[in-house]
C-alpha cells in the first residue's frame, strides 16, 4: 500500500518540478522584498539621524567654546564641559574647523559638532520677587 502511494506521488515528475520552481521563485521574491524593506528602513533612519544633527553656521574670526568630553567622565555640578575661548581660524568642508587660542598661540583642528558660539557681552538680568502670603 505504501509503495503504491509513493509511486502515485512521484509519478508526475514534470508537475512536481514545476511546483518546485514556483516555490523557489516565490522564495526569491520574498528575499528581494526583504532587501528592499531593509534599504527603506536604513534610509529613513539616516534621514531621522541627520535631522537630529544641529546645523551650525560659523564664520572665520568668531569666538567659540570647545566641548571637553574628558570632563564629562567625572560629572559634577561645578565643572563645565565647555572649555576655553577660541577663535575660528579656518573652516574646512565636512564640518572640520581649525581653532586657535585667544592669544594666537596654538592651532588645532576639531569637529564642528564639538564647538558652540560664545555669546559674550552684558546681559540684562532682572530680579523677580515673589510675594508669599496674601497680597493685602
Higher pLDDT among residues 11 and 27, named by residue: 27
Domain identity same for 103 and 79: yes
Are 38 and 80 in a shared domain?
Answer: no
Whether residue 132 is contained in a domain is answered as no
| 91, part of any domain | yes
Dump pLDDT digits (tens) for 49-107. 888 776 778 899 999 999 877 655 566 666 667 888 899 999 998 889 999 988 878 89
Note whether 24 and 70 are same-domain residues.
no
| Domain-located, residue 71 | yes
Q: Give a yes or no: residue 133 inside a domain.
A: no
Of residues 2 and 48, the one with the higher pLDDT is 48
pLDDT for res 17: 81
CATH number of the domain at 70, please. Answer: 2.30.30
Q: Which domain holds residue 95?
A: 63-117
* CA angle, residues 35, 37, 39, in degrees to nearest 5: 70
In a domain, 22, yes or no: yes
Contact 83, 71 (CB under 8 A): yes
Q: Considering only residues 12 and 42, tell me which one the structure prediction assigns the higher pLDDT.
A: 42
Cell numbers linked to 55: 546645523
Average pLDDT, the chain: 80
- The dihedral built from the CA positions of residue 13, 16, 22 and 28, taken in this order, carries a sign that is negative
Q: Are residues 34 and 74 in the same domain?
A: no
**24 and 48 belong to one structural domain:** yes
Under 8 Å between Cβ of 98 and 108: yes
Q: Are residues 7 and 35 in the same domain?
A: yes
- Give the pLDDT band of residue 117 (cuts 50, 70, 90): confident
Whether 58 is in a domain gets the answer no
Q: Which of 48, 118, 52, 124 is nearest to 83 (CA)?
A: 118
| pLDDT at 41 (0 to 100) | 96
What's the total number of domains in the chain? 2
Amino acid at each position: 500500500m505504501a509503495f503504491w502511494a509513493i509511486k502515485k506521488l512521484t509519478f508526475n515528475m514534470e508537475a512536481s518540478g514545476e511546483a518546485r520552481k514556483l516555490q523557489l521563485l516565490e522564495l526569491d521574491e520574498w528575499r528581494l522584498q526583504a532587501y528592499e524593506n531593509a534599504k527603506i528602513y536604513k534610509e529613513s533612519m539616516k534621514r531621522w539621524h541627520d535631522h537630529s544633527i544641529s546645523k551650525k553656521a560659523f564664520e572665520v574670526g568668531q569666538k567659540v567654546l570647545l566641548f571637553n568630553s574628558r570632563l564629562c567622565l567625572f560629572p559634577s555640578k561645578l565643572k563645565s564641559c565647555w572649555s576655553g575661548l577660541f577663535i575660528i581660524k579656518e573652516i574646512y568642508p565636512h564640518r572640520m574647523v581649525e581653532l586657535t587660542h585667544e592669544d594666537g598661540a596654538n592651532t588645532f583642528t576639531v569637529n564642528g559638532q564639538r564647538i558652540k558660539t560664545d555669546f559674550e557681552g552684558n546681559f540684562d538680568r532682572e530680579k523677580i520677587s515673589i510675594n508669599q502670603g496674601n497680597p493685602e
